[in-house]
Structures are given as C-alpha cells and as structure tokens.
C-alpha cells in the first residue's frame, strides 16, 4: 500500500527542524521510521508533512559526562550495541539491544524514536525506565529535562509537548554493587515483547538497597512494578526473597489481554516468571 500524499522536509539544524514544526503543527518527526512509515502505508497515520532528523548534526553519538552516559536521540540501536562506553558503564543496554527486532531494525532504528513512540510492546522504554534515566527535549519554550518516571504517560503517548523534539537520553552509570538484566518473551514473528521485564538491583552486604523493575508488553505503556520493588527492598537477596517479590510484580499493574498474542491471565503469569528471571540474572551480574 501507499501512504497519503505528504510534504517531506530534511532540515540540517535543530532550529530549522523546530521552525518547521511550528509552521506545520500536524507534521510528524521522522527518526528511524520503522513504526511511522508502516502506519502511513496502512493509512493508520496520515500526517501532512514529515520532518526528517537524520541530517541534523549533534543528535547522535554516545559520550560520558561525569556519572551519566549521554546518548543522542538519533543514535541507532547498532551504535548502542557495539559501543564500548555502553558495555563498560551500562552493559544491560548493550546486552538487551541484542534482542531488539532484527538486523535491519538495529541498523536503522533509533533510541529517541523508540522512546518517543512509546510502543506498549517496545523494549527500550522498559529498559530506560528501569535504569532511572532522564531525557532532554527542545521545543518552542527552550530546553527541558524530563525524568523518565514522568515520560511515559499512555499508549503511544509521552510527556513531549507539541513542537518538542527529544534530543538526548542521560543514563546513570552503573557503579559497583549494581547489576541489571532484561528478559523477554518475544513474539516469534515480530520480535516485539509479548512481555518483557528489566530489573536493576543494587546490593550491599547481600542486602537489596535498591531495585527498579520495569515491565513492557503487558501494560499500555512501560510501567514500573513497584510492589515487587518494595517487597525486595531491604531483603537478603536469595532465591526465596526474589521469588516472593516476583509474585507481587503484577500488583498495581493494569495488565492487558487480547486474542492475538496473549490473554490477560497469561501475561500476568509471564510478568511473574520474567520478573523472577530478570531479578536472578541482575543479581548474578552484580560487580
């Protein structure tokens, strides 16, 4: 199928892109395009204009700033997957990227595009949420920083305001005593997460001092499993306490079901199982 007619813009600066969005309020930002272009071909999305960010310098790249790993919004999955900085300071992000989509997706898809799209079955929203990152955006009112806990607000909906462009993601580096893992049950064709869980665990004297657990695929948008986090806090980290915490993972979550991928009951079961596996793997990775 063919998309409806649209105007195409390829700005060469961020200011030019922001001006184009001001002049075309209904325009869509084009990053990797793996979600937007198929939706346009199916006429599920009919934007009158696209603003392509690929020619804008400074929106891609990975660097270390103090205790934060900074990833440009247009950085591809492949760049993350092969980055020594990522593998040294936030290894779970590189490891998880191995199971994102396929080779074509990883070569073209972008970090910012994934987060801004907020797909309920996307991998990166849950991973970045569990890592306690923050995102920066530029818009008509200037630049602002958004804590990741406030970023995902609904299905395909984020805290980005009209005319804003996500520019970078800032992730706290993982220090000693911290481990993280991402585990998912993928759909065999699309590789999207039927359910995915990312767990980040901080340990001191074998006591859990910090736990962040984020779920994707089971809810309308990436969401933290706070009941499981609280159940693990202050506990000795062993198979029993992890199993008990994982059993509480679905509490407080609005878990979805459908006739195509998985029922609500099955997804609830997967949330428990994958939370336990992610926590066990995260503890094993503590360094």
Chain centroid, CA 195 distance in Å: 13
Statement to judge: residues 45 and 77 lie in one domain: no
Domain at 35, CATH number: 3.30.43.10
Residues 182-191 pLDDT 10s = 999 998 888 8
Whether residue 57 lies inside any domain: the answer is: no
Q: What is the pLDDT of residue 192?
A: 87
In DSSP terms, which residues pair with 179 in a beta bridge?
201
- Give me the domain span that covers residue 11: 7-52
Residues 188-222: tens digit of each pLDDT: 888 889 999 999 999 999 999 999 999 999 999 99
Q: Are residues 242 and 280 in the same domain?
A: yes
pLDDT band at 287 (very low <50, low <70, confident <90, very high): confident
137: CATH = 3.30.465.10
According to the model, what pLDDT value does residue 160 have?
97
DSSP tag of 248? T
- Decide: pTM greater than 0.85: yes
**66 and 22 share one domain:** no
Mean pLDDT in residue range 164-190: 95
Q: Given this model, what pLDDT does residue 190 score? A: 81
Using CA of residue 52, residue 58, residue 60, residue 65, what is the dihedral sign?
negative
How confident is the model over 13-70, as pLDDT tens digits?
999 999 999 999 999 999 988 889 999 999 999 999 999 999 999 999 999 999 999 9
In the structure, how many helices (H) and strands (E) does the chain have? Answer: 11, 14
* Spatial distance between the Cα atoms of 191 and 204, rounded to a whole number of angstroms: 36
How many folded domains does the chain comprise? 3
Examine the domain organization and report whether 148 and 186 are in the same domain: no
For 8, the token pair is 């195409």
The DSSP string of 69-96 is EEEETT-BHHHHHT-HHHHHH-HHHHHH
The model's pLDDT over 242-254, given as tens digits with 9 standing for 90+, comes to 999 999 999 999 9
Q: Tell me the C-alpha distance between 174 and 169, whole Å.
A: 15
CA dist 238 and 181 (Å) reads 16
Query: From its phi and psi, is residue 191 left (phi > 0), alpha (psi between -120 and 50) or beta?
Result: left
pLDDT, position 51: 97
The residue out of 132, 155, 172 marking a domain boundary is: 172
Instruction: Render pLDDT for 109-131 as a digit per residue (tens, 0 to 9).
Output: 899 999 999 999 999 999 999 99
> Which pLDDT band, with edges at 50, 70 and 90, does 103 fall under?
confident
In a domain, 2, yes or no: no
Output the pLDDT for position 33: 85
- The interaxial angle of helices 239-247 and 264-284, nearest 10 deg, is 150
DSSP state at residue 108: H
Is 101 a residue whose pLDDT tops 80?
A: no
């Amino acid at each position: 199928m063919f998309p409806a007619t649209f105007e195409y813009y390829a700005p060469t600066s961020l200011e030019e892109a922001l001006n184009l969005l001001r002049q075309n309020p209904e325009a869509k930002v084009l990053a990797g395009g793996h979600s937007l272009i198929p939706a346009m071909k199916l006429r599920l999305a009919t934007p009158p204009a696209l603003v392509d960010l690929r020619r804008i310098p400074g929106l891609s790249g990975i660097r270390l700033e103090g205790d934060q790993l900074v990833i440009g919004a247009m950085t591809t999955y492949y760049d993350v997957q092969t980055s020594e900085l990522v593998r040294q300071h936030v290894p779970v992000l590189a490891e998880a990227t191995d199971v994102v989509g396929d080779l074509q997706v990883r070569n073209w898809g972008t970090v910012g595009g994934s987060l801004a799209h907020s797909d309920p079955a996307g991998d990166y929203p849950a991973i970045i949420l569990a890592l306690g990152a923050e995102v920066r955006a530029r818009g008509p009112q200037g630049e602002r920083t958004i804590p990741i806990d406030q970023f995902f607000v609904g299905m395909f909906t984020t805290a980005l305001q009209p005319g804003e462009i996500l520019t970078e993601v800032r992730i706290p580096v993982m220090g000693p005593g911290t481990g993280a893992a991402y585990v998912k049950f993928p759909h065999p064709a699309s590789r999207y997460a039927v359910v995915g869980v990312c767990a980040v665990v901080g340990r001191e004297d074998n006591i859990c001092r910090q736990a962040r657990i984020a779920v994707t695929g089971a809810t309308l948008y990436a969401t933290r499993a706070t009941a499981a986090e609280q159940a693990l806090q202050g506990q000795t980290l062993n198979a029993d306490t992890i199993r008990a915490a994982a059993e509480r993972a679905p509490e407080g979550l609005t878990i979805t079901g459908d006739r195509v991928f998985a029922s609500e009951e099955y997804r609830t079961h997967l949330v428990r199982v994958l939370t336990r596996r992610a926590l066990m793997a995260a503890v094993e990775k503590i360094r």
